Amino acid sequence: MLTEGYLTYSLGLQRHNSMYLFLVPVMYFLFRLLLLVPGNAPVLVRNISMLVYVIHPAVIIALRGAAKAVGLTWLLVDNTLVQFLTVTAASFAAAALIGYVTGYVLKRKGR
């Protein structure tokens, strides 16, 4: 995938850096490998990972809008490492907050 990314970037074929042809087989074999690992994750970890997956596209859109509004597009959007780290941190923070709030509400209702 690294070679594919470098090749498509150097040839100017990438519209953005998150779509690769080799991503499909890599993810297939990664998930097959993960199925071999025994054990169960704690409920909180499962819920937060699911929320991060669902929330991160909205965080990307919000980050782009906020960066444009404050004039930091060069840092928060054009710099892909900073964008990745910011989206990751914001997605986990939002997922943890949602997980905490929903857990608190369910405890108050007695579920």
Please indicate, yes or no, whether residues 1 and 46 belong to a single structural domain of this protein: no
Please indicate, yes or no, whether residues 26 and 77 belong to a single structural domain of this protein: no
Please indicate, yes or no, whether residues 35 and 51 belong to a single structural domain of this protein: no
pLDDT of residue 111: 62
Q: Is the pTM of this model over 0.95?
A: no
1 vs 111, higher pLDDT = 1
Judged by phi (left if over 0) then psi (alpha if -120 to 50, else beta), residue 110 lies in: left
Please indicate, yes or no, whether residues 29 and 13 belong to a single structural domain of this protein: yes
55 vs 107, higher pLDDT = 55
Query: What are the tens digits of pLDDT across the range 10-22?
Result: 888 877 777 788 9
Report H helices in 11-79: 23-34, 43-70, 73-76
User: Do 92 and 53 touch, CB atoms closer than 8 A?
Assistant: no
User: Do 5 and 20 touch, CB atoms closer than 8 A?
Assistant: yes
Q: Is 107 exposed, middle or buried (0-12, 13-18, 19+ CB in 10 A)?
A: exposed
3-state secondary structure of 97: helix
Please indicate, yes or no, whether residues 13 and 63 belong to a single structural domain of this protein: no
pLDDT of residue 29: 95
Please indicate, yes or no, whether residues 55 and 45 belong to a single structural domain of this protein: yes
Please indicate, yes or no, whether residues 55 and 97 belong to a single structural domain of this protein: yes
Please indicate, yes or no, whether residues 34 and 69 belong to a single structural domain of this protein: no
Q: Which domain holds residue 7?
A: 1-39
Query: What are the tens digits of pLDDT across the range 58-108?
Result: 999 999 999 999 999 999 999 989 999 999 999 999 999 998 888 877 778
Query: What are the tens digits of pLDDT across the range 43-54?
Result: 888 889 999 999
pLDDT of residue 28: 95
Please indicate, yes or no, whether residues 47 and 92 belong to a single structural domain of this protein: yes
Please indicate, yes or no, whether residues 3 and 34 belong to a single structural domain of this protein: yes
